[in-house]
Amino acid sequence: MINKTKIFLKTKRLIITNFNEDDYEDLFEYLSDKNTYKYEPGKPISIEIAKKLCLERSKNNDFLAVKLKNKLIGHIYCKQIDPKEYMTWEVGFIFNRIYQGKGYATESLDAVIEHYFKNIKVHKIIAECNPKNKASWKLLERVGIEREGKLRKNVYFKQDVNGEPIWQDTYIYGKLKI
């Protein structure tokens, strides 16, 4: 299902909005960096894949572009999960490492959470992250998303030299609309 609702959020320093097709060079800048995938599934992308992703992302609200002036510095994933009647949305984020540690992720995630709770029928926002990704879970906690549990060796994104899964744990986070 394509959701064509335009989103435009402005914070003190940032613009959070729908992707544009021409965001591909900035998206490529951080999704072509192998360090981006330390805790994420996938692998570095080509410029052609970046163009394709921007075109796909421009057609819905699943991924929101976080921009500093006109520069795409990261994105936030926010999508309703099934079953729809539970009114639960999952969030995730990836930021260009050049712009990490400056509060941009906190500022933008705060704005997105506030927008979804105020303007969309959301009961709960959830997130998952690798316990080793301290920056990620610290960010979730900074914006008021609470750790609800830990799943042991429940997922893998990479395999060892023998093709065997490298299992990892997952922290589960949630925030209820109050």
Look at residue 3 and tell me whether its pLDDT is greater than 90: no
Peptide bond between residue 41 and the one before it cis (omega within 30 degrees of 0): no
**Tens of pLDDT along 76-87?**
999 999 999 999
**Tens of pLDDT along 86-102?**
999 999 999 999 999 99
pLDDT, residue 2, reads 47
What token pair was written down for 100? 């990490």
**Distance between CA atoms of 73 and 36, rounded to whole angstroms?**
13
Residue 41 lies in a domain: yes
Residue 57 lies in a domain: yes
Residue 1 lies in a domain: no
Residue 164 lies in a domain: yes
pTM across the whole model: 0.94
**Distance between CA atoms of 63 and 73, rounded to whole angstroms?**
13
Q: Domain total for the chain?
A: 1
**Tens of pLDDT along 130-141?**
999 999 999 999
Range of the domain at 69: 8-176
Residue 2 lies in a domain: no
CATH code assigned at 124: 3.40.630.30
Q: What is the pLDDT confidence band of residue 178, given thresholds at 50, 70 and 90?
A: confident
- Please report the sign of the dihedral spanned by the C-alpha atoms of residue 105, residue 109, residue 110, residue 115: positive
Rg (C-alpha) for the chain, rounded Å, is: 16
pLDDT, residue 5, reads 81
